[in-house]
Amino acid sequence: MTELDPARTAAIRDSLGVGVAVGAYGFAFGAASVAAGLSVLQSCLLSLLAFTGGTQFAVVGVVAGGGSIGAALAGGLLLGSRNTLYAMRLAPLLKVGGLRRLLAALGTIDESTAMAVAQRTPSLSRVAFWWTFAGVFTFWNLTTLIGALVGSVVDPASFGLDAVVPAAFLALLAPRLRSGELERWIAITGAAIAFLLIPVAPAGVPVLAASAALVLAVRLR
């Protein structure tokens, strides 16, 4: 038994706990995705290949509002661009190359980044990153499938599943509103942009334009 064994065990335990908790949101995404008109296969592929909750809910929200697939994907791409900043922070810690670098890029999300940078040594950071990624990815995709299957055989509106997109998106956003002044200003700016455009812009455009608030993160950090 080495000195770091207890710390490693704690990091793995906490990472898997995050994986289970965050992965549960996948059910909401799967149900909302099918309710918006996507198929079970499309919903599952979006979770497998995009794998970033905020982006996925934004895409489904635009589609549900009548927006085009192009607007939905463009808005999702802008929201997902924050992961590029995470990757810059994690690169010195993970030190991966080749195929593992591509896998690490897929796994660079809010939760894996937060768990990695919270550790006290680079070794523990790598443990936390990979276990958080594995936990969230496994449970998120499993619950996406379950939610999509349920949504495909029952009327989502009869169970209130049509309200799942805004509710789950707000749940994902809430911790960030408490995390700092910058995050609050980004949220307020994005909301203001969307509020002003909703009466005059086509469906999907307000969400896409609201993503411009992410520029604040680049300008102010």
pLDDT of the residue at 164:
53
User: Quick one: tokens of 41?
Assistant: 């296969």
* Domain edges within the chain: 5-164
Could you tell me the CA-to-CA distances from 146 to 33, 37, 40, 48, 136 in Å, in that order? 12, 16, 9, 14, 15
Cα(211)–Cα(216) distance, integer angstroms? 10
Q: Check if the beta carbon of residue 15 is closer than 8 Å to that of residue 117.
A: no
Q: Check if the beta carbon of residue 20 is closer than 8 Å to that of residue 135.
A: yes
pLDDT in tens, the chain (221 residues): 444 588 889 889 988 988 888 887 888 889 888 888 889 999 999 999 888 887 888 788 778 777 777 777 777 777 777 788 888 889 998 989 888 999 999 999 988 998 898 898 999 999 999 999 999 999 999 999 999 998 887 765 565 555 555 555 555 555 555 555 656 666 677 778 777 876 776 655 666 566 666 555 555 55
Burial string for 159-188 (b: 16+ CB within 10 Å, else e) reads eebbebbeebbeebeeeeeeeeeebeebbe
Instruction: Give the pLDDT confidence of 23-62 residue by residue, as tens digits.
Output: 878 888 898 888 888 899 999 999 998 888 878 887 887 7
pLDDT of the residue at 179:
54
Among 53, 48, 56, 44, residue whose Cα is nearest residue 22: 53
pLDDT of the residue at 3:
46
Among 139, 135, 160, 138, residue whose Cα is nearest residue 32: 160
119: which DSSP letter?
A: S
Residue 124 has a CB neighbour count (10 Å cut-off) of 20
Instruction: Give the pLDDT confidence of 116-128 residue by residue, as tens digits.
Output: 988 989 999 999 9
pLDDT of the residue at 188:
74
User: Quick one: tokens of 121?
Assistant: 């040594």
Cα(199)–Cα(189) distance, integer angstroms? 17
User: Quick one: tokens of 201?
Assistant: 């812009």
Q: For the range 179-186, what are the long-range contacts, defined as Cβ-Cβ under 8 Å and sequence gap of 24 or more?
A: 182/216, 182/217, 182/220, 182/221, 185/216, 185/220, 186/213, 186/214, 186/216, 186/217
